[in-house]
Structure formats: C-alpha cells, structure tokens
Amino acid sequence: MYMIFKFFFSFFLAFPILLVNAQQDDKIENLISQLTIEEKISMCHAQSKFSSAGVPRLGIPEIWMSDGPHGIRPEINWDDWGYANWTNDYVTAFPALTCLAATFNPDLSMKYGTSIGEEARYRKKDVLLGPGVNIYRTPLNGRNFEYMGEDPYLASVLVVPYIKGVQKNGVAACVKHYALNNQEHWRGHINVEVSDRALHEIYLPAFKAAVKEGSAWAIMGSYNKFRGQHCCHNDLLLNKILKKSWGFDGVVISDWGGVHNTNEAIFNGLDIEMGTPSDKNQSKRYPYQNNFLGKPFLDKIIGNEVKESILDDKVRRILRLMLRTSLKQNKPFGSINNKQHYETAYKIASEGIVLLKNTDNFLPIDKTKRITIAVIGENAEKSMSIGGGSSELKPDKEISPLLGIQKEFRNAVIKYAKGYSSDATVNSDKLRKEALSIVKDADVVLFIGGLNKNRHQDSEASDRDSYQLPYNQPELIKEISKNNKNIAVILVSGNAVETRWKTDVKSILQSWYLGSEAGNAIASILSGEVNPSGKLPFSFPMNLNDNGAHYFGKLSYPGDGVSQYYKEDILVGYRWHDTKKIVPSFSFGHGLSYTSFELLKSSSDKNEYLINETIRVNCTVKNTGKLEGKEVVQVYAGKVNSKINRAKKELKGFKKVFIKSNQSEKIKIEIPVNNLAFYNEKDSDWEIEKGEYIIYIGNASDNIWEEISITII
C-alpha cells in the first residue's frame, strides 16, 4: 500500500512538470511544421561570430551567446574578432573556476552561477559558454585556470549548482569542452587515445553530472579528436554517450571553428555550428550559409541523401533551447555590477585562496602596527582580467593586489618595486636592483609573482613552455632571501608551478586569478581579517616528470603531432602520487589555516553494506586553535586487494564546516555504495567490486587522520 501511495504521490508532484513539457513539445512541433527547409538549416549554423539565426516571419528570435565562464565577455564585432568598443559592456569579473574549485563549497558555486547568470541576462545573452570541467591532467595546459581541478568528483559536485544558478535566470549554461580537451598545444587536430575506463572514471563524470544532475541545456564540443573523430562531431561521445546513454535533451554547439566535415556534423550529434571560417567574397557579411551545416547540408536533404527528420531533430533541440531562454515567458531582467555580485566575487576569492606554507605563523600580519612592507612583483599591479583568450573580461573595476594591500595596511609604510617584468624589452637588471634596495630594511616582504595571461602562460591557444616560474622569479626570490628572511610569496596563477624556492620563504599563498575583488581578498587573508580555508584542487608535483602525464614522455604529452596516449590511464593527479608513492610539493586537498583542527572521533554507521545502500561516515572535528575558521573534511575510499588496477584512494565525499575556537562540530558524509564502482571495460558497464574497502578521513590527500575498514557484501 505504501509503495502505491508513494507512486501516486510522486506522479502528483511531477504532473505539472509533465504537463508543461507536453505543452512545450506541442509548441515545438507546431513551429517545425511551419518552417521551410531553408529556415531550419539557417538555425543550425552561425549568422555572426556569436549568434545563430532566428526566423523573423514566425517571431523566432536569434540565439545570442557569450564567452565565459568568469564573466560576460565584451561585445565582439559581427564578423570578426575585434571588440565592438561599446561603453556599456563592463561587467563584474568573478574569480577563475580554479578558485571556485579551491573553495570546496557548493553553496558558493550556486551563488557564482546565479550572479553570472544575472549579468548574462542583463546583457541579453541566451547562452553562457561555460562552465569548463575538463580535468587537470598536466600543469602545462594553458587553459587549466578555466576548469575545476584534477578530481572528477570535486568537479562534479561543484558544476551542478553553478549550472542551476545560471539557468534559473533563463540563460543556458553551455558546459565545455566535451571532451578530453586537456591541452591547448595542437588542440585543433591532436587525436586523443585513452582507455574506456579512464574516459568514464576520470574525464566524463563532471559532464555526466552536468547533464543528469544539473540538467544543462547546452554542451560545447571540443577541438581535439578522440579515436580519430573530431569531438564536435564524434559519434561515440555525442550520439551514444551524451544523447542516448545520458538522455541529454539540449543543444550541442561546436567550439568556434571546431567543425571539419559535413557528413559527420550531420550524423554525429552536432546541432549548431559556430565559428567556421568562410570567405567574405563581395558581400559585407560572411556567407555563413556556406558552412558545413549550411548549404552542403541543404543540398543533401534536397538530393534525398539525408532524411529531413535528422534536420528536424536538431531544430527541435534548438527550439527547446529557445523556449528555455530567448522565448521563455516571465524571465527575469537580470542585473550587473551590483553590490551583491561584488560580495559574491569577494567571498569566492577569499574562501578560495590557499595557504600553502606558514612557517612560525608568519602570517597573518598585524595591520595595527606601523611596520614597513616591501611589495615586490609585476603581478602586484598587473590586470589579470585582460588577456588569456576567450575568458578575457572588461571589468567595471579590478582591485589590484597592491591597491588592496595599501588599503588594508594603512598604518604601514608600503614600498613597491616591480622586481621583474613580462616585457622582454625592459631592463630586468635595473628592476632587480630596485627590488633589492627596498627589501633590506623592510619588516615584511610580500613577493607577488606567479604566472599571467600572456601567451605560453595561463592562456587559451597555447600551453606553458616550462613548469618553472617565468621571468627569473626563482632567482629573484633567492636573492631577496639573502637580504631579508621575512618573505611571503603570493602566487597569482591558475596552474601549479615548480616550488624549489619554497625553503627560501616563510609563507606561500596560492591566490589564483581573483577578478574584480582580487586585491581586497588577498589583503584580507594577509591581515587575518579572513582566515584562509581554501584547498588545492590539484597537486603541485615536485618536478614536471613527477606528474603522471609527463612521466611517460612525449607520446603521452603533448603527443607526436598526430596522436597522444594517456598512458597514466586512471592515475591522474593525486591518484598517481598516492599509488606510485611519489611525494608532491603540495598535495591535492592541501590548505592550511591560521587556526588548527583535530579529529576527535570517527566511525561508519556499520561495518557491512549491500550494493544498494549508503555508507554514512560520522566524525567530530574540533577547532583547537585561538581563531574561528573553516575546515574541509575529506573522505576518500580505496579497495583492499582489488582484482583490477586501482588508485590507492579516491575522493568520495567532503564537507566544509565553520567551527569557532575551542568548539567542535559533528559531521556526517554520505557515500552511496554505487559511487565505489569501477568501469568494467569488458562489459562496458559499471561494476561494484565486493570485499574490503578502506575509508580514509582527513583534510588533504596526504594528511589522513583516520582509516575505517568496511566490507561490501
């Protein structure tokens, strides 16, 4: 009786949604019946750099897209990549997604998505080209700063609220870059070869969560090939996995210029083709109708080579997207550059900054004292919202680290020297001498270095040339340390860097690209106004070859110019370090605080579990320090005596908690047993291996507080 009641109650709750969907489907079919073949074709390809066509005679609007995922990009010209130079397209610059990942805070992800969705709605955008969830495989990938780290579970948890926040504004989140776009070097043609197991366990979970849990309305195909087919028209990825297995009902949009073949574009799951180069000829506008899904597609339908039903499926998806966005009734107005958005940007930035090292509690700095602070580094004043490729922004404001420090430490004497420059024409020796001259008598030296958005740094379309800090920063840090030992290094980057110099400094902050509130957030951490609580979303290997992708040589990264082979397989990031016992410089999940935490007790709710049950891990954590703060309790799982090759442990749950000084918090983290499954390549399905597992509880992948043994029966 209970099950019958539950069924009818669930149906009753779902009935309004089913009714709306049925009405929507009827409307879509009615519109399709009124469209000519030519009009349908026009909806499947671009009409400008960032829009696809509508059908004016039927009141069907265009679809307007904008780059993200850290803010809404300035307006681009209709037919070229030049900026339109509008004066009303200034936006809030939100922190890079690596920073969001470092917060380990799903609530902040929702606020991020909601805020950026409001700005997109205000700018009359229908599709936000983001978020990015490609897995951090190598620290040389120039686009890592746009993604959510090396762990598929962390990325999966954080991408869902971001998508929901964006889409509740009537703006589609277009999750990218699907899939295996893990380097920028040769991105347009490199063919990726990876096992089915690594594909499903490492590289697809965040996309799957985006579709099945986040209900993303759009997916962007990636530039690279996978098993010989470009990912923008890849039958396995788009048809078999995305649309059939996951039930994706949205639109697949190509990356700009990512389409290469008409037949594959027609049959292999692509819906809207964007950015394909065309000759301008004599017309004032590019003939987008000549693109792969333009006239060649039309000719094949007219010639009965392709059924019109295939075109109708694409148009049906496009119309569904429109009814969710541009044709949505009662959609919000949106808002931009308001107090709430800046508060969100600041909150994410300050909660994402990671304290990597803090010898002798060197930080925080007492802002009430009249001390001398020497600030060194180009990154102290360099804008990081400009450059970097498609994520470039035009911020309404951007507080530099130097300005933030000057505002926060008003009682201090602040001296600044550039120290190094990314401009090769600048006299670097002169800059070095200026820096050394002001550090000798300083009470505190703040070296603000790292990477930038220049080519071959953290930037689209190119990978880094070196794992080391550029512009002779390591040498400068060492020279400064000979003159003054009281050094804190603030790394501004979206990537791990080589840190052999870490013994020369007392403290290190990983501060990411923090957007509009960058300087304010950094200064708040330095002064202790905010207690750092960020955790690394990827590992910092000691040496580049300590990274799994690089360990196997050039055929693994970057490939031979034709193909590359993911030889580390499922052992990405901390999985590699843990399993191979290769100690990183800083581990995944690592992040210090100005207070201290201790695990008082932990347990699982029982010792044995059936496959359909949920493991409940209970623990009590105490703040044993003098300051209130936040800690991220991380729960990993590993199989004992597995019949297959597995990582020693994998992240399966986490929870960020606020704890007052000398107080404790009880924490419960639930792990469905199904989440312990591995992908069985023989059966092409997920399998749960029975037997003993170890549940690891800690606050970093290399700092485990306690281990619990359980059994799956």
The two three-digit tokens of residue 145, written as one number: 């700063």
Closest listed residue to residue 72, CA positions, set 109, 118, 38: 118
Pairwise CA distance, residues 477 & 479, whole Å: 5
Q: Residue 465: how many CA atoms within 13 Å on its side-chain side?
A: 5
> CA nearest 224: which of 193, 201, 245, 196?
193
Whether 151 sits among the annotated catalytic residues: the reply is no
Answer whether 254's CB lies under 8 Å from 232's CB.
yes
Residues facing residue 602 across a β-bridge: 619
Element (DSSP H or E) covering residue 711: strand 703-712
Smallest CA-to-CA distance from 149 within 608, 589, 511 is with: 589
Q: Which residues pair with 447 in a beta bridge?
A: 376, 489
CA distance 619 to 525: 28
Q: CB atoms < 10 A from the CB of 95, how many? A: 33
At residue 220, what are phi and psi to the nearest 5 degrees?
-105, 130
d(CA 415, CA 437): 10
Which 3 state secondary structure label does DSSP give 268?
A: coil
Half-sphere exposure of 543 (CA within 13 A, CB side): 4
SS3 content of the chain, % helix, strand, coil (to 5): 35, 20, 45
Asked if 96 and 70 count as a contact pair (C-beta separation under 8 A), the reply is yes
Catalytic residue among 67, 89, 126, 255: 255
Q: Tell me: cis bond preceding 69? Omega within 30 of 0 counts.
A: yes
Neighbours of 329 (CB within 10 A): 6
For the annotated catalytic residues, the residue numbers are: 255
